[in-house]
Amino acid sequence: MATVYKPRELPADFPFAIKFAEMPPYYCMDHTFHWHNYLEISYVKQGYGRYYIENKVYDIAPGDIVVINNIEPHYMEVLPPEPMIQPVVMFDGRLISDGSSPLFDKQYLVPFFERGSNFSNKIDRHSAVGQKIFTLLTEIEEEYKSQAHGFQLMIKAKLLAIFTYLVRYYQDEAKSSLTPAQKNKRLEQLQVVFEHIGRNLDQSLLLEDLAALVYMTPSYFCTFFKRATGQTPVQYIHKVRVARAIDLLRTTDQGIYDIAIDSGFANLANFNRIFKRVTGQTPSAVRLS
């Protein structure tokens, strides 16, 4: 089961990196929400998928761009039939503003932390700004790979251009009602719940017990969870259990009934029904894919 929070050490002198990955169909990060200690911009070069970011869902395709800050729970899944290639640009805000710089520098990071009412984590491939940013990201990728003399200066210059496009794209006076402190408190509560679910997938997971972990009534907990993730607790548990089943289908020769039980489903009929609902495929079809 994936870790909820994955800190990553970026170089101290230039806190920037690009993660390159080719992800197969049905890759889904175990359907486990996670967050990072850095900011990220990803861009799809091949394949199709779906991002779950807090309570929003975005379908993504080649050319799409996704912007995520360091306090947004998220995960993504790759949709069949082809693998997804999606580089992720990761950077620390200190690369742009270390707190001692003029206020002007901090304005570059406004789109990551001051979300307006028109905010969308996804920038569509068909939009003019999306196409400009996608071109800049591919140029940054080339600089990062070649590491020619002055590549860090060029990367930062192109990042500043991207941030300026984002400032223009997201301009809106209406801001989120949650403060950073409130968002961090919510992350702490979600982490407790996510980790408990991950450790106890093969056990009975009762709504009352999950609510008690964060000192809420079951009714309030359901509202809290849905607002934070866009899913009910039951929907989330089903997805995580199906993710475990997919892993077992692809990495073991266990029978489907045993996989269903090991993934926390009460019986085979229930497993087949929920598996088909989540993936659109039968367990046998996924095993053969």
**In terms of domains, do 23 and 158 share one?**
yes
**In terms of domains, do 155 and 249 share one?**
no
Instruction: State the residue for tokens 């949709």.
Output: 79
pLDDT in tens, 214-243: 999 999 999 999 988 888 999 999 999 998
**In terms of domains, do 20 and 131 share one?**
yes
- Where in the sequence is the domain holding 89, given as residue range(s)? 16-169
Answer whether residue 66 is part of any domain. Answer: yes
Q: How many domains does the chain have?
A: 2
Query: What letter represents residue 280's amino acid?
Result: G
Distinct helix (H) and strand (E) counts, the chain? 11, 10
| The two structure tokens encoding residue 68 | 């995520």
Instruction: State the residue for tokens 């991207």.
Output: 162
Answer whether residue 5 is part of any domain. Answer: no
Query: What letter represents residue 40's amino acid?
Result: E
CATH number at 186 reads 1.10.10.60
Q: Could you say which of 135, 169, 203 is where a domain stops?
A: 169
| The two structure tokens encoding residue 277 | 């609902």
pLDDT in tens, 14-65: 999 999 989 998 898 888 888 887 889 999 999 999 999 988 899 999 999 9
CB atoms within 10 A of CB 240: 25
Laid out side by side, the sheet with 48-53 consists of: 56-60, 48-53, 74-79
pLDDT of residue 286: 87
**In terms of domains, do 161 and 184 share one?**
no
Query: What letter represents residue 65's amino acid?
Result: I
Verdict on whether the full-model pTM lies above 0.85: no
Answer whether residue 6 is part of any domain. Answer: no
Q: Which residues of the chain have pLDDT under 50?
A: 1-5, 102-104, 173-174
**In terms of domains, do 119 and 203 share one?**
no
Answer whether residue 7 is part of any domain. Answer: no
**In terms of domains, do 137 and 191 share one?**
no
